[in-house]
Structure 1
Amino acid sequence: MTDLHAHLLPAMDDGSPDVKTSVAMLRRLQAQKVTAVCATPHYYRRQNAPAAFCLRRAEALGRLLAAAPPGLPRVMLGAEVAYFPQMEQQPLGLLCVEGTRTLLLEMPFADWTDLQVETVTTLALDCRYDVVLAHPERFCFSQGNRRQLARLAALPVGLQVNADSLLRRPLRGLALELLRGAAIPLLGSDCHDLARRPPRLEEARTVIRRRLGPDFLARMDRQADRLTRLRPGEAAL
């Protein structure tokens, strides 16, 4: 099983503060039967050029791997890329999950414009990225965003719901509705630490299995495996 969204690189962003916590997070994921995890620190274009970000990311991974015992889930480098204007014109390969065209995209926490939705469409259809929208349930605060999200859900775009959203009654129904209607339904822990936002994939998967069925959960697992499989011509980082 693959976790597509985790902030476990030490001192990289607002996630794990240190190597000890990062190793403990990997152990927690292992206990939940995770075999591979995408390390997806926040990427903000206004703060970092891709090359500088990737250097910091590689250094953080090096510190983690030096301390991690054998047998823990495999860590794949990626990023949670915050939307920025004209991003479809930029080379984004360094920010994809390593060895793939999978781009985890965080949309703005505001009403989405038609131009922003068109940019995502271009990334998916013209640039041929495997776009995955991070935690779409967090953006459904307006009818406008719900309509825009319905447009994107009809495309070959992944909708990655957070595990915690399936465990909170106010959000659970919405999260299940989004998964049910997605062309590519996906689950991620979006874990940041061991206390406030820990990995809770196992509990969330139980909800999906009970409400949407084991076949639906198996379909989600297949999609996650596909999106993290090394593609010919895409070098591993």
Structure 2
Amino acid sequence: METITDMHTHILPEMDDGSKSVDMSVAMLRKMAEMGITTVCATSHYYADQNDTATYCARRSKALEALHGILESDSSLPRIRPAAEVAYFRHMEEHHLERLCIEGTRTLMLEMPFTEWTDQQVETVTTLSLDQHYQVVLVHPERFCFSKGNRQKLEQMVELPIGLQVNAGSLISWSTRRLALELLRLTDTPLLGSDSHNLTSRAPNLKGGRDVIRRKLGEGFLARMDENAARLTAQG
């Protein structure tokens, strides 16, 4: 069976600004199943100034438990991999981040600041990647290329063994498609996520993004992205 992974979702009920209920989460999962998605990374927002890791993980476990019975009874739904969208915070390299990685891996989904990036922030990513051996994935990098400085720092960071996860919506939209495709070509580890939050304004849309990649970059490129996602979510 083909494995198709959505690397970035806000699928868990009442965790953040994503799904508001169990019913909404299940409806989102059904839409994902219709698109052929088999695995969903539940990357609820993690902000260090709002939750410590233990509190966050306890809340996440409770949200997962609320879906457990439905997922057990319906094998057609994608399986959920607990994870986090970790917002960059100062001195994060001094913290134990393993429990915020995709469960069973060292894959860390990292959201950089929505500001001009600093050399210190680049150094932190370097430390996480090279010294601490996290598989860092920068989420939706297209949102941060609003300045020449950030673009230059992003090009510097892709020299590291890190991944770039572009949002499907950025590929679907004409206004952002060119940049999204450029970023996928820029990295050795291109990845795709829906960043879906609900059923309306930010609904599951991975299929649309995959269709654009297939047309613009080819079936082989899409297959390589699927291989990257399978590798970075593999347990053990």
The TM-score bracket by the shorter chain reads over 0.9
Q: Write the distance in 1 (CA, Å) between the matches of 2:57 and 2:217.
A: 38
Question: 1:127 deviation in Å?
Answer: 0.4
Answering whether residue 60 of structure 2 is matched by residue 91 of structure 1, we say: no
| C-alpha RMSD over aligned residues | 0.7
Contact 1:155 1:183 in 2 (8 A): no
Contact 1:2 1:225 in 2 (8 A): yes
Answering whether residue 155 of structure 2 is matched by residue 158 of structure 1, we say: no
Find the counterpart in structure 2 of residue 25 from structure 1. Answer: 28
Answering whether residue 35 of structure 2 is matched by residue 37 of structure 1, we say: no
Answering whether residue 207 of structure 2 is matched by residue 179 of structure 1, we say: no
Contact 1:96 1:104 in 2 (8 A): yes
Find the counterpart in structure 2 of residue 222 from structure 1. Answer: 227
Partner SS, residue 12 of structure 1? coil
Answering whether residue 127 of structure 2 is matched by residue 122 of structure 1, we say: yes
2:15 to 12, 15, 21: 12
Structure-to-structure mapping, 1:204-223, within 5 angstroms: 204-223=209-228
Question: 1:86 deviation in Å?
Answer: 0.8
The residue identity in structure 1 corresponding to 2:129 is A
1:64 to 67, 70, 89: 67
Q: Write the distance in 2 (CA, Å) between the matches of 1:44 and 1:3.
A: 22
Question: 1:64 deviation in Å?
Answer: 1.6
Q: Write the distance in 1 (CA, Å) between the matches of 2:26 and 2:115.
A: 35
Question: 1:67 deviation in Å?
Answer: 3.5
Question: 1:155 deviation in Å?
Answer: 1.3
Partner SS, residue 120 of structure 1? helix
The residue identity in structure 2 corresponding to 1:27 is R
**Ranges in structure 1 where 5+ consecutive residues have no aligned partner:** 232-237
Deviating runs (4+, > 3 A) in structure 1?
A: none
Q: Write the distance in 2 (CA, Å) between the matches of 1:211 and 1:67.
A: 37
1:132 to 133, 137, 145: 137
The residue identity in structure 2 corresponding to 1:78 is A
Question: 1:66 deviation in Å?
Answer: 2.7
User: How many corresponding residue pairs?
Assistant: 231
Answering whether residue 80 of structure 2 is matched by residue 75 of structure 1, we say: yes
Find the counterpart in structure 2 of residue 190 from structure 1. Answer: 195
Contact 1:16 1:192 in 2 (8 A): yes
Question: 1:33 deviation in Å?
Answer: 0.6
**Ranges in structure 2 where 5+ consecutive residues have no aligned partner:** none
Question: 1:175 deviation in Å?
Answer: 0.2
Answering whether residue 110 of structure 2 is matched by residue 105 of structure 1, we say: yes
Find the counterpart in structure 2 of residue 234 from structure 1. Answer: none
Partner SS, residue 10 of structure 1? coil
Q: Write the distance in 2 (CA, Å) between the matches of 1:213 and 1:125.
A: 31
Question: 1:126 deviation in Å?
Answer: 0.5
Partner SS, residue 161 of structure 1? strand
Q: Write the distance in 1 (CA, Å) between the matches of 2:57 and 2:215.
A: 39
Partner SS, residue 74 of structure 2? coil
Contact 1:3 1:36 in 2 (8 A): yes
Contact 1:19 1:67 in 2 (8 A): no
Q: Write the distance in 1 (CA, Å) between the matches of 2:211 and 2:44.
A: 27
Q: Write the distance in 2 (CA, Å) between the matches of 1:121 and 1:37.
A: 27
Identical positions, percent: 58
The residue identity in structure 2 corresponding to 1:108 is P
- Structure 1 range deviating more: 60-69 or 43-52: 60-69
Q: Write the distance in 2 (CA, Å) between the matches of 1:211 and 1:114.
A: 34
The residue identity in structure 1 corresponding to 2:17 is D
